[in-house]
């Protein structure tokens, strides 16, 4: 009961954050507004905020979910914990922009609680430019580092590497974008308290909206060609590949019989696949492909 | 050595079929021609025949592969066999049409051989219309049944049901299309010989090209609207979902470190995703969704 109440309190806090994120992004877009829908299934409930056909944001979603279920044998194996039931609550969001010079952005913060008393936080933010802009990537990482450093000096280096490893498409031998931070199973203990961890995830969720709003304002009017739009479609195809083949949130959602429409709001509005697409020598597209690699120190590049 | 020679002989037969399939489909398209490329990796080799921007076929591929590898613990668990190494060869093909009134079609035939002497065939053909045409679906199934019946009266009912179960998208609670046939681990034995099984897969591969050529000729000029093209994009999105989340060939390809460009030639040229797309009451789109169900007896509908 204590466990459930705590998870419900966090869901309430996260649903407040969800509203703030939507407000900020609506302001940045200036045209489209989020619709809000609540779903309920056996597994729990969620609130899905969706935006489409904005001036800057072509398609996006900000999801809140609160789900409960049996802690299966598979979860035990994967997570190395023994328990009967779990409760999980989190926010997950992705924005796909109109302009190919704007990046795709994604965040997720989540709280996971077992009935054996073990609980942890997880989350991350990552940026997927269609065209990599090293200044933007550096600023992005600098802002994430600043937030991390307020909680622990080991967070940024650890979580930056984790993001490089997680947001990676093995079959393409490419990172999904310029990375960011990713972390999971961060438990309260001697080094950091429960309250601090909760505050860390709150800071990240708000930074997500702030960071993207600034990028949108800066680049939304940059002119683009039909060729650049076509390149964006191909990169969106890669994004769909990552989300459908590797993303753990998507897998967990499907396996726990979650709400498919809400889970797949992450998919791009449109995308394209071409067999053996070739980029031109010394083009911006080639430069982007060259930089889709792990272990780039974006801050000091 | 004996095992390897037999697999090589089958790869040779299949590569002949690959050429025939390409020729037939080129004739049906009337504009585009297949390019042919050979790839080699540690795992083996393949020949990828690709077509794009045809008059009727927007994107398609006919893949041949011949791969070898270690029979892993995971494969042992999945397949219930004990062996050290495997050899596999097969043809895999998908066609995405320009016209939304034309269906997507897919086939795969494959031979799998273990160094413990166990060997089997697998394969199938399935049809994914953007708009279901019950006459077309009935004819399609009737042709598959005719081929099956030449080998065994139990094949069609068994393999039709298998296709219903396999070509299914659980998170959408939809079948991928109108199904077809699917079978795996069909071993030579008292009931059917090795030669008959090989002949069965040859018949299927040729029927695939024949069936699709006839459908293309019949419907390629049917007029379509922008709305119908938009619906096709959404259905292509579902096709990408199936291939990336569930398709065993794609998974096997990624896990065995196969050729990603050849594996993913199956993906649609373009696609779209919309959060909670609603179809109109009593529309052709609604009728199609209604028919994306298992266990429909298309022949006697």
Q: Which residues of chain B have a pLDDT value below 70?
A: 1
> What is the DSSP secondary structure assignment for residue B103, as one 8-state letter?
P
Picking from A171, A233, A256 by the largest number of B CB atoms within 10 A of its own CB, the best residue to mutate is A171
Please say if the pLDDT value at position A1 is more than 80.
Answer: no
- The Cα diameter of chain B in Å comes to 62
Record the pTM. 0.96
Cβ distance A254 to B171 less than 8 Å, yes or no, reads yes
Q: Mind listing the domains of chain A with CATH numbers?
A: 2-300 (3.40.1500.10)
Pairwise CA distance, residues A124 & B173, whole Å: 31
Cβ distance B273 to A268 less than 8 Å, yes or no, reads yes
Cβ distance A52 to B274 less than 8 Å, yes or no, reads yes
Question: How many residues are given for chain A?
Answer: 301
Task: Determine the 3-state secondary structure of A45 from DSSP.
Answer: strand
Structure tokens that stand for B78 in this block? 């999945």
Do residues A36 and A115 make contact, with C-beta atoms less than 8 angstroms apart? no
- Sequence-separated (6 or more) residues with CB below 8 Å from residue B231: B100, B130, B131, B285
User: Which of A80-84, A180-184, A210-214, B101-105 shows the lowest mean pLDDT across its residues?
Assistant: A80-84
- Report the pLDDT value the prediction gives residue B190, as an integer from 0 to 100: 86
Search chain B and give the residue with CA nearest A242: B244
Do residues A56 and A32 make contact, with C-beta atoms less than 8 angstroms apart? no
- Residues A44-62: what's their mean pLDDT? 98
Pairwise CA distance, residues A91 & A14, whole Å: 7
Mean pLDDT score of chain A = 96
Confidence of residue A256 (pLDDT cuts 50, 70, 90): confident
Confidence of residue A77 (pLDDT cuts 50, 70, 90): confident
Confidence of residue A202 (pLDDT cuts 50, 70, 90): very high
Exposure of A7 in the CB half-sphere (CA atoms within 13 A): 25
Task: Tell me, rounded to whole angstroms, the distance of Cα A180 from its chain centroid.
Answer: 10
Contacts of B59 in chain A (CB under 8 A): 273, 275
- Report the pLDDT value the prediction gives residue B36, as an integer from 0 to 100: 98
Cβ distance B271 to A270 less than 8 Å, yes or no, reads yes
CA distances from A82 to A2, A73, A78, A100, A117 (A): 19, 9, 11, 46, 10
Task: Pick A275's closest partner by Cβ from B50, B233, B245.
Answer: B50
- Residues A215-224: what's their mean pLDDT? 98
Confidence of residue A79 (pLDDT cuts 50, 70, 90): confident
- Report the pLDDT value the prediction gives residue B100, as an integer from 0 to 100: 98
- Residues A135-151: what's their mean pLDDT? 98
- Sequence-separated (6 or more) residues with CB below 8 Å from residue B26: B32, B33, B34, B51
Cβ distance A273 to B269 less than 8 Å, yes or no, reads yes
Search chain A and give the residue with CA nearest B49: A275
Structure tokens that stand for A68 in this block? 């409960």
Distance in Å from the first CA to the final CA of chain B: 50
- Residues A168-196: what's their mean pLDDT? 96
Distance from CA of B259 to the nearest CA of A (A): 8
- Report the pLDDT value the prediction gives residue B77, as an integer from 0 to 100: 86
Contacts of B238 in chain A (CB under 8 A): none
- Judging by beta carbons within 10 Å of its beta carbon (0-12, 13-18, 19+), is residue B264 exposed, middle or buried? buried
Interface of B with A (CB under 8 A): 37, 48, 50, 52, 59, 61, 170-172, 233, 237, 240-241, 244-245, 254, 260-261, 263-265, 267-276
- Residues A187-192: what's their mean pLDDT? 92
Search chain B and give the residue with CA nearest A277: B261
Pairwise CA distance, residues A261 & A252, whole Å: 14
User: Which of A35-39, A172-176, B42-46, B70-74 shows the lowest mean pLDDT across its residues?
Assistant: B70-74
Q: In this prediction, does ipTM exceed 0.85?
A: yes
Q: What is the pLDDT of residues B247-280, one digit of tens each?
A: 999 988 898 888 999 999 999 999 999 999 999 9
What positions of B carry a catalytic annotation?
106
Picking from B243, B271, B277 by the largest number of A CB atoms within 10 A of its own CB, the best residue to mutate is B271
Contacts of B244 in chain A (CB under 8 A): 240-241, 244-245
Confidence of residue A211 (pLDDT cuts 50, 70, 90): very high
- Report the pLDDT value the prediction gives residue A252, as an integer from 0 to 100: 87
What positions of A carry a catalytic annotation?
106
Backbone φ and ψ for A137, nearest 5 degrees, come out as -65, -40
Pairwise CA distance, residues A33 & A23, whole Å: 9
- Sequence-separated (6 or more) residues with CB below 8 Å from residue B108: B90, B91, B92, B93, B122, B123, B124, B249
């Amino acid at each position: 009961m204590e466990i459930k109440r705590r998870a419900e309190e966090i869901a309430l806090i996260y649903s407040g954050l969800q509203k703030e994120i939507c407000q900020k992004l609506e302001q940045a877009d200036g045209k489209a507004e989020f619709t809000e829908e609540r779903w309920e299934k056996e597994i729990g409930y969620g609130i899905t905020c969706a935006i489409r056909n904005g001036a800057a944001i072509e398609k996006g979603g900000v999801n809140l979910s609160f789900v409960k279920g049996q802690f299966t044998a598979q979860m035990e194996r994967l997570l190395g914990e023994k328990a009967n039931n779990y409760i999980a609550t989190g926010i997950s969001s992705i924005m796909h922009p109109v302009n190919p010079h704007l990046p795709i952005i994604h965040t997720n913060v989540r709280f996971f609680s077992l009935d054996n008393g073990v609980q942890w936080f997880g989350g991350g933010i990552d940026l997927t430019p269609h065209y990599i802009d090293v200044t933007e990537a550096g600023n992005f990482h600098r802002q994430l580092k600043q937030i991390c450093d307020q909680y622990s000096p080991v967070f940024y280096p650890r979580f930056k590497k984790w993001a490089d490893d997680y947001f990676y498409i093995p079959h393409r031998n490419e990172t999904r974008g310029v990375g960011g931070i990713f972390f999971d199973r961060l438990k309260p203990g001697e080094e950091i308290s429960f309250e601090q961890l909760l505050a860390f995830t709150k800071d990240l969720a708000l930074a997500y909206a702030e960071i993207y709003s600034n990028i949108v304002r800066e680049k939304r009017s940059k002119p683009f060609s039909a060729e650049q739009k076509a390149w964006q479609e191909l990169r969106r195809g890669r994004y769909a590949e990552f989300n459908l083949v590797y993303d753990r949130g998507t897998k967990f959602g499907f396996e726990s019989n979650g709400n498919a429409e809400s889970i797949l709001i992450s998919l791009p509005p449109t995308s394209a696949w071409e067999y053996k697409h070739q980029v031109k020598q010394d083009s911006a597209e080639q430069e982007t492909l060259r930089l889709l690699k792990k272990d780039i120190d974006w801050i000091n590049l």
